[in-house]
């Protein structure tokens, strides 16, 4: 069959970098003459660029695999790529209708020379995520991390830190400027670890970007997945950088406000260090939006631990919080820990959190410049409410 008759359906879930990689796969097939279809049932080839970030995302990805598998026949092919098969290779082995393919060398599959290296996929993508709007340019600065979190599996998929060169990041930044973008999200699984494989660091990168001449063009930078230990380590340098007023958001996932739980999570900072640092940033630079992740129900989490987390959030006054319920993933140290928290307790703590901080609820919609918060339990909208960091973001 000729390529102009062949149809391919590419689907990606998970974070914006994963969706950008999916977009690059689509572009590569399109340039080779393939027809891109949104209807997976009609596709000759289905490609699923999967996410395995957490238990819920693994569940979601498995549901997508099952959905696609139901339409696979002899004349169709199902390719599974992305993070999930690296995190759990048994998924593909147990599903004979799909096969694994590492699209870091996409030319192997579509008979072309260009390579797809997910480290270097930057650009714009528009979909349902609040961080994937059509006026935002995503720059993937690095891949992998230096952490050893007891609950995380991303290092299985991404490995240790691998950073782009500063010149490459600057080049991609300029490409975004030339295309008319003025909002740039700097991404990395462990953004603050940037440069450790290149005898450099995140401060050097940011200084290079801020010292770059843009002919008077105004722009803003949003720092995503900047773990607290890097803010603590480079606090003085970050404060100097924040004086530029070019940094609009710092997304720093604290996960817990309990010293005991942070030790069990194997996070590289104490709650007191993180709290002090973030409070100073908020007090000295009130225009900088602070966002964080909180994990509820980590094994052995007591009411006392949860209350310490509530107190942490209250003291820092975050602009936005993403709340996760812990879900154990086989193969992680936390999965073997005793003291599992039952779902009813997790649900109760989630509700208590949102009752305490209703303005932080992240699933906000902006309608006629007013914020409306959706009650996930009753699926009804409450509001209008004050706009949170995402609405300010855009």
Cis bond before residue 157 (omega within 30° of 0): no
Q: Which domains does the chain have, with CATH numbers?
A: 3-118 (3.40.50.360), 119-360 (3.80.30.20), 363-394 (no CATH)
54 neighbors 224 (Cβ within 8 angstroms): no
Mean pLDDT of the region 337-358: 92
Q: What is the pTM of this model?
A: 0.84
> What is the per-residue pLDDT for 90?
81
> What is the reported pLDDT for 374?
46
pLDDT: is 322 or 313 the higher one?
Answer: 313
Q: What are the DSSP calls for 79-101, one per residue?
A: EEEESHHHH-THHHHT-TT-EE-
| Lowest-confidence pick of 107-121, 238-252, 289-303, 309-323 | 107-121
Phi, psi dihedral angles at 183 (to 5 degrees): -125, 125
Tokens 């200084």 map to which residue? 207
Check pLDDT > 50 for residue 73: yes
- Condensed to tens digits (0 to 9), the pLDDT of residues 79-94 reads 888 888 888 878 777 7
Give SS3 for 155. Answer: helix
Residue 267 tokens, joined: 């996070």
Number of DSSP helices (H) and strands (E) in the chain, helices first: 15, 16
At 214-256, the pLDDT tens digits run 888 999 999 999 999 999 999 999 999 999 999 999 999 999 9
The region of weakest confidence among 50-64, 91-105, 298-312 is 91-105
Whether 384 has a pLDDT exceeding 60, the answer reads no
What the block records as the tokens of 345 is: 């307790």
| Per-residue confidence (pLDDT) for residue 72, from 0 to 100 | 87
Check whether 108 has a pLDDT greater than 70: no
Q: Report the share of the chain in percent with pLDDT over 90.
A: 53
Check whether 142 has a pLDDT greater than 60: yes
């Amino acid at each position: 069959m000729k390529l102009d008759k062949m149809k391919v359906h590419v689907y990606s879930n998970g974070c914006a970098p994963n969706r950008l990689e999916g977009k690059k796969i689509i572009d590569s097939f399109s340039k080779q003459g393939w027809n891109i279809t949104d209807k997976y049932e009609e596709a000759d080839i289905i490609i699923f660029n999967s996410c395995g970030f957490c238990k819920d995302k693994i569940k979601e990805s498995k549901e997508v695999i099952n959905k696609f598998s139901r339409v696979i026949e002899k004349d169709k092919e199902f390719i599974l790529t992305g993070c999930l098969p690296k995190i759990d290779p048994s998924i593909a082995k147990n599903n004979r209708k799909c096969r694994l393919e590492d699209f870091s060398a996409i030319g192997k599959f579509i008979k072309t020379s260009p390579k797809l290296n997910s480290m270097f996929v930057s650009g714009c993508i528009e979909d349902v995520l609040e961080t994937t709007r059509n006026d935002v340019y995503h720059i993937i600065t690095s891949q992998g991390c230096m952490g050893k979190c007891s609950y995380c599996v991303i290092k299985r998929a991404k490995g240790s830190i691998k950073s782009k060169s500063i010149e490459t990041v600057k080049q991609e930044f300029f490409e975004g400027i030339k295309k008319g973008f003025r909002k740039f999200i700097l991404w990395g699984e462990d953004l603050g670890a940037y440069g450790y494989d290149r005898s450099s660091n995140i401060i050097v990168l940011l200084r290079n970007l801020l010292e770059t001449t843009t002919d008077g063009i105004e722009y803003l930078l949003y720092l995503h997945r900047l773990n607290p230990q890097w803010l603590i380590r480079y606090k003085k340098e970050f404060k100097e950088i924040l004086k530029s007023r070019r940094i609009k958001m710092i997304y720093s996932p604290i996960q817990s406000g309990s010293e005991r739980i942070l030790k069990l999570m194997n996070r590289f900072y104490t709650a007191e260090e993180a709290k002090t640092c973030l409070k100073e940033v908020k007090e000295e630079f009130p225009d900088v939006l602070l966002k964080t992740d909180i994990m509820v129900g980590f094994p052995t989490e007591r009411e006392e631990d949860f209350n310490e987390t509530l107190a942490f959030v209250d003291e820092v006054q975050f602009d936005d919080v993403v709340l996760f319920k812990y879900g154990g993933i086989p193969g992680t140290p936390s999965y073997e820990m005793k003291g599992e928290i039952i779902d009813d307790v997790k649900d109760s703590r989630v509700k208590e959190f949102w009752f305490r901080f209703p303005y932080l609820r992240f699933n906000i919609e902006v309608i006629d410049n007013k914020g409306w918060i959706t009650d996930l339990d009753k699926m009804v909208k409450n509001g209008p409410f004050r706009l949170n960091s995402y609405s300010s973001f855009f």
